[in-house]
Structure 1
């Protein structure tokens, strides 16, 4: 009887873990599908007819939970407003919002999260995490990638923040020269390969 109870418990545990992993994977897959649909739909795509003709599609690295990390969250009070050079040779301004510290591939990493400045009302909850890594110019866009975060739902109960590099995406400038995309600052450069999120076909 004890053996039967133990087997039943193990089966329940395995099922529970599998369900949790499936839920997380489905959330990532849903995000990726929405991104593909965004570029494919004529009503939402940022590409014009000429650009769509040479567009090679949105592709991704295989989803890998290793790149869904929990980072220490350090708010920056009265952060500096930083001028970001853009792909169009202009300047956009972002305010330092927080630092995140985490370990990736056994290496300590630090990135800065930013908030647009001035804050636009429709994006009041929006935070911006631009970064570069060792894949840029090889399997990912040379100009770096972005991750979007929300002020209201990014912090966990223990005061940390979950960063999912599986949701990293390319700026519009990866596919079009008509846009004005901020270039990730040097302090947001990771010295590892982030094989997660959107890839890039030249």
Structure 2
């Protein structure tokens, strides 16, 4: 399966025509729904897969594919994130993304567990004003896969249409880190995956 996050390379990209973008996004969502409904590694509990009709998504919102300015942290600081299992996991804060939504300025931090591992994606966990109402109460994730090291001041695209619900929302056997308070947005991001219930 190709995760939705693979569609974002984490670098500056030219925005595609909205129609082409929406078509690609819908195809990606259909592929993910097929995986969740039938694959042995799906987080959907086996007893719910026969009735699974797909995840719930916000309508595609090309305007929430935002251009951000990256500030790279040369000496990443550790951050202890609480998990849904009640323990903590250690990440390091490797980059800050500054951007605007509807004219208001926001920041999100990107994290890694192994900052020197170029293969590990940059995790951007976040909460927003939809959390616990329209989206999973534990928050959502965006993953970025930059090619090579990010440069300070680089323009990076964060596509909130690719914001996804962590596996722990579907199955308690999974443990997921919860977005730290520094990544709580004071705005509603109505893009990406909505909350799911069997």
Indicate how the Cα distance of structure 1 residues 26 and 145 shifts in structure 2: closer, same or farther if over 3 A, else same: same
Which segments of structure 1 move beyond 4 Å, counting only runs of 4 or more?
53-56, 153-156
In the alignment, structure 2 segments of 5+ residues that lack a partner are 1-15
Tell me, yes or no, if structure 1 residue 126 matches structure 2 residue 109: no
Q: Is the 1:116–1:127 Cα contact (8 Å) retained in structure 2?
A: no
Q: Is the 2:130–2:189 Cα contact (8 Å) retained in structure 1?
A: yes
1:76 alignment counterpart: 73
Q: How does 1:43-192 map to 2 (within 5 A)?
A: 43-52=40-49, 57-117=54-114, 124-152=119-147, 159-192=154-187
> SS at 1:128's partner residue?
strand
TM-score calculated relative to the size of structure 1: 0.80
Provide the C-alpha distance between the structure 1 equivalents of 2:150 and 2:26, rounded to a whole number of angstroms. 22
In the alignment, structure 1 segments of 5+ residues that lack a partner are 1-18
More helix by share: 1
1:20 alignment counterpart: 17
Equivalent residue pairs, number: 181
Larger radius of gyration: 1
Provide the C-alpha distance between the structure 2 equivalents of 1:82 and 1:88, rounded to a whole number of angstroms. 17
Deviation at 1:39, TM superposition (A): 0.7
